[in-house]
Amino acid sequence: MAVEEKEDRGVATLERALAILGTFESSPSQSLAEMSRRTGLYKSTLLRLLGTLEKFGYVGQQADGSYHVGVAALHLGSLYQRWVKPAELIDPVLRKLVEQTGESSSFNVQEGDVRVCVYRVDSPQKIRDHVRVGDLLPLTRGAAGKVMLAFGDEAGEPRWKELRESCFCCTKGEIEADTAAIAAPVFAAGGVLEGALAITGPGFRFSDEKVESMRLALLRAACALSRDFGGSTAALDAAVHRAQLTTSA
């Protein structure tokens, strides 16, 4: 029983430490009082946990006494990116999409019941959406999330039949009222969904004509990336062919 109680205390401590790191989503720099309010932990408890987190580089303290995320968290993020897929495969595809469309592009993967933006290249235009690498977004809203549902958790549901055939999704105003997105699936070996390739930006620039022109570029990019990952491109090849016919009509 004593061993079990010790393990339970260790788990509780870990959960509290993770809760502390989670507060930095609300503010990149925060005081002890702000952190106490957000976590519900006493300041004395926070100080002990922060001391350990600072020792291992997961938080840092500024001259005014406030805390910020430490460099160890950035290192973990880079490890996660390398686990998803090498940047040298994904970044050139994203940069080419930005050059072709003028809008921001990103690569997203599913984590549980949310999706995370793992790689992103921003549009050079002053007015753009502001999703950042590491942002967590819902699966149920936005083009990338719906692609993940259609080819992942809810692949057999009838409502995704059209999306699965087209390998393409377009949404407007689902994440933020003034933004829009298009997305396509990227496959790995065995037909497994690797992630969703997306193009995002302000809704007023996503006219029907612009969406149609970006659709072909996106599908070709998803096809090329799937091929690099060793995935089947049959569905994407068919989607590219249909998009070409629509564009040339």
User: DSSP assignment of 35-49, as one string?
Assistant: HHHHH---HHHHHHH
Quick check: 94 pLDDT over 50?
yes
Which pair of structure tokens corresponds to residue 145?
């999330």
**pLDDT (0 to 100) of residue 235:** 92
pLDDT band, very low/low/confident/very high, at 1 (cuts 50, 70, 90) = very low
Query: Average pLDDT in the 171-198 region?
Result: 93
pLDDT in tens, 29-84: 899 899 899 989 988 999 999 889 988 888 988 888 899 988 888 777 777 666 66
State whether residue 232 is helix, strand or coil: coil
Instruction: Supply the DSSP string of 37-96, one letter for each residue.
Output: HHH---HHHHHHHHHHHHHTTSEEE-TTS-EEE-HHHHHHHHHHHHHH--HHHHHHHHHH
- Cβ atoms of 231 and 194 closer than 8 Å: yes
Please tell me the CATH superfamily of domain 85-248, with its number. GAF domain (3.30.450.40)
Mean pLDDT (the chain, rounded): 88
Residue 199's nearest CA partner among 239, 224, 237, 212 is: 212
**pLDDT (0 to 100) of residue 57:** 87
* pTM, 2 dp: 0.70
The backbone torsions φ and ψ at residue 43, rounded to the nearest 5 degrees and listed phi first, read -60, -35
- Cβ atoms of 49 and 16 closer than 8 Å: yes
Residue 117's nearest CA partner among 57, 172, 183 is: 183
DSSP state, residue 194 = E
The CATH code for residues 2-74 is 1.10.10.10
CA 7, distance to chain mean position in Å, is 33
Residue 93's nearest CA partner among 58, 56, 118, 128 is: 118
The backbone torsions φ and ψ at residue 130, rounded to the nearest 5 degrees and listed phi first, read -130, 40
Residue ranges per structural domain of the chain: 2-74, 85-248
pLDDT band, very low/low/confident/very high, at 249 (cuts 50, 70, 90) = low
Residue 248's nearest CA partner among 222, 215, 225, 224 is: 215
Q: Output 108 or 132, whichever has higher pLDDT.
A: 108
Query: Average pLDDT in the 98-116 region?
Result: 94
| Strand pairing category for 136-138 and 169-172 | unpaired
Residue 20's nearest CA partner among 40, 1, 2, 4 is: 40
